[in-house]
Amino acid sequence: MRENQIALQLYTVRRPAAEDLTGTLGAVADAGYRNVELAGLPELPADRIAALLGEHGLRPIASHVPLDDLRADVNAVAERMATLGCPRVIVPWLPEGDRASLDGARRLAEELAGYRQALAAQDLRLGYHNHAFEFDRLDGSTLWDALLAGLPREFEFEIDVYWAAFAGRDPIAEIDATRGRVKLLHMKDMAREPEPHDAPAGQGSLPFPEIIAAGDAAGVEWYIVEQDEPSDPLADVATSLRYLRSLAG
């Protein structure tokens, strides 16, 4: 992992961003971030978001986009990404109806493959971000396995190491199993007491040096700081960046 492969998922700072987007983006840049993944921002036109990011020297490397947005109008999603200057769309979550059966998961894989093809025609990449439910047993398999089997190798995966560990999986094994397909990692650490919860990178129990080594071997392009429930969002993202920089080659 090189230092210029570190990014921030802006969902982590959604609460301060809701109060002061310009100030929050400035604080993110002041902490040392130059690359960001989009999610959790106030509803603003894409050109306004692009302008604010540019004012603070922040570059969007991916954007979380609900599956329903792709279903409604994949071309509108592509147009928004073009305005943002964002090269990659990530589906971050699945409605319950799309994860109820293995047959449904297979149909979903076919659907996602179609969106990938449509976005690729406009020079955009498509990927999927896991939580824990993808690893639940489903008709003798898992939704995760169905997606891996049913999607083309050009389709990308964003592995959230916290949620993989929360589901009882070994994040390193999951990275190894998706070699060449996993292009992004969410570097969300796990504190285990009094019960599992997310923590700034380096402040929990996950073996980040080994995770980074596995990611490098697998072809990961981006190592993305994220917390779902940070106690102090701007301080926590600065802590995570300092730690990941200490591990950068």
The b-or-e profile of 91-103 (16+ CB within 10 A means b, else e) is bbebeeeebeebe
The answer to whether 148 and 138 are in contact (CB under 8 A) is no
pLDDT above 90: residue 148 = yes
CA separation for the pair 139, 154 (Å, rounded): 26
List, for residues 155-201, the tens digit of each pLDDT value: 999 999 999 999 999 999 999 999 999 999 999 999 988 889 999 99
Residues facing 62 on adjacent strands: 37
Lowest mean pLDDT across 97-106, 115-124, 169-178, 216-225 = 97-106
Q: Mean per-residue pLDDT for 94-123? A: 96
Q: What architecture is the 3-247 domain classified under in CATH?
A: Alpha-Beta Barrel (3.20)
Collect all residues with Cβ–Cβ distance below 8 Å to 16 and sequence separation of at least 6.
23, 24, 27, 233, 234
Report the distance separating Cα 247 and Cα 243, nearest Å.
7
pTM of the predicted protein model: 0.97
% of the chain at pLDDT higher than 70? 100
Q: What average pLDDT does the segment 116-137 reach?
A: 98
CA 6 to chain centre: 12
Helix, strand, coil proportions of the chain in percent (round to 5)?
50, 20, 30
- Residue bearing the bigger pLDDT, 249 or 200: 200
Domain ranges in the chain? 3-247
Q: Is the pLDDT of residue 65 over 90?
A: yes
Distance CA 228, CA 129 (A): 14
Tell me how far the alpha carbon of residue 188 is from its chain's centroid. Answer: 10
Cβ atoms of residues 113 and 155 within 8 Å = yes
Place of tokens 């809701």: 18
Considering just the CA atoms, what is the radius of gyration of the chain in Å? 17
**Separate counts of helices (H) and strands (E) for the chain:** 11, 12
Residues 6 or more apart whose CB falls under 8 angstroms from that of 146 comprise 102, 105, 106, 108, 109, 138
* Mean pLDDT for the stretch of residues 22-42: 99
Enumerate residues 6+ apart whose C-beta is below 8 A from 67: 91, 93, 94, 95, 98
Candidates 115, 138, 135; CA nearest to 127 is 115
Instruction: Tokens for 65, please give them.
Output: 């986009």
Could you tell me which residues come within 8 angstroms of residue 244 by beta carbon, excluding any fewer than 6 positions away? 1, 6, 187, 201, 202, 208, 223, 225
